[in-house]
Amino acid sequence: MSFLTLAKRRASRILMVSAGLLLVLGGGIGWLRLQDQLDLQKGLNHFREGRFEDAERVLRPFVARRPNDVEVLKALALSQLALQQWQAAEGSLSRWCRLRPEQPQPFERRMELYLRLGKNEQAARDGLRLLEQNKGDLERCQKVVWLCLGMGRVAEAEQACRLCLLEQPGHIQLRYLLAECFHARGAEAEAQAILAPLVRAHPQLTGALMLRALYLLYDAGQAQEAIPLLRQVLAADAQRQEVARYHLSQALARTGQKEEAQRVVAEMQALQARKRLAGDGHPDNLELQARVAEGLLKAGKSLEARRILEKILEQDARYPTAHRLLASYYEKQGQTAKAAEHNRLAGY
């Protein structure tokens, strides 16, 4: 056999071996790719089924290898949010925002996360972006306005308010918020121009009532006109009881109604004591209960005060403050014998 023939046979065997190796390698790579896809599908299924811990564990390495795959990134980000992995979720959401700047969902979820983390400036920025995309989202608009006002970013608050008013120029809550923006930047005439007709037409809008009353009480010197507005706030708004009572007491005092002003102050003190009692975590705190009763007595709510004091004595029959206040109660009722007995038990 010639040398040339041997060389050809050897080259042929080498080609056959190489082809076999390539087939084996190709099959191995194909198998790995198939396994990769199966694992990915498993991770996405975990996410859809609400198995967020399993989803996060499976999907995290995929995002590291394929950072621009939005479907996988979205599933990972939402899984991290569900698991309260705030720092990791922030990074995933920010990448999602960069990849899909036209979609509202990543910005919505990131805004919610920023609010949870106290990153109000970043939350406001995302909120303004969302409002530019959807001016009709009134709930978000109000949240963004208050958020910006709370940070002193009055220009952004006004911008958000005006954006939404373009869609609904007659919306009463947005008009009130615009008045708040004017007030915050010292544009008092513009604020008043909105508030005066607004409170006449919509007396249920307690925020506007309060702001209008404050202008009348402090800025315009029309304390008498502020009083009915503050009474309306007290009657309609459980959230503004303390602040409305404070300003009402000021208005009453300025108009010479000092006795009623003192009663309103006492009601405010009783309300403050109730709040402290509720937040104390110890409903049997006798000192705070006694403060509530004392405030009610001063406010003229004697029967309610007496019930609280009697309940205190059920817990501690020798509690001196309760006896002292009951003595005061019975003195006002003209029951001198009972008053004397409670004074004796109080140590007087």
C-alpha of 238 from chain center: 17
Task: Please state the three-class secondary structure of the chain as a single string.
Answer: CCHHHHHHHHHHHHHHHHHHHHHHHHHHHHHHHHHHHHHHHHHHHHHHCCCHHHHHHHHHHHHHHCCCCHHHHHHHHHHHHHCCCHHHHHHHHHHHHHHCCCCHHHHHHHHHHHHHHCCHHHHHHHHHHHHHHCCCCHHHHHHHHHHHHHCCCHHHHHHHHHHHHHHCCCCHHHHHHHHHHHHHCCCHHHHHHHHHHHHHHCCCCHHHHHHHHHHHHHHCCCHHHHHHHHHHHHHHCHHHHHHHHHHHHHHHHHCCCHHHHHHHHHHHHHHHHHHHHHHHCCCCCHHHHHHHHHHHHHCCCHHHHHHHHHHHHHHCCCCHHHHHHHHHHHHHHCCHHHHHHHHHHHCC
For residue 10, the model assigns a pLDDT of 57
| Topology alike, domains 38-117 and 119-198 | yes
Q: In the prediction, which pLDDT does 28 show? A: 44
- For the chain, the domains span 38-117, 119-198
Structure confidence at residue 31 (pLDDT): 40
Domain 38-117 CATH class label: mainly alpha
Please give the pLDDT value at position 324: 85
Q: What is the pTM of this model?
A: 0.62
Quote the pLDDT of residue 177.
93
pLDDT at 208: 93
Write out the chain's pLDDT in tens, 348 residues. Answer: 554 454 455 555 554 545 454 444 444 444 445 556 767 788 788 888 899 998 899 888 888 888 888 898 999 999 999 999 999 999 999 999 999 998 889 998 998 999 889 888 898 888 888 888 887 788 888 888 888 888 888 888 998 899 889 888 889 999 999 999 999 888 989 999 999 999 999 999 999 999 999 989 887 778 999 999 999 999 999 888 888 988 999 999 999 999 999 888 888 888 777 777 666 555 677 787 888 788 777 777 788 888 888 888 888 888 888 888 888 888 888 888 888 888 788 776
Quick one: tokens of 203?
A: 């007396």
Confidence at residue 322, expressed as pLDDT on a 0 to 100 scale? 82
CA distance 230 to 121: 33
Domain boundaries 119-198, CATH class: mainly alpha
pLDDT value at residue 9: 57
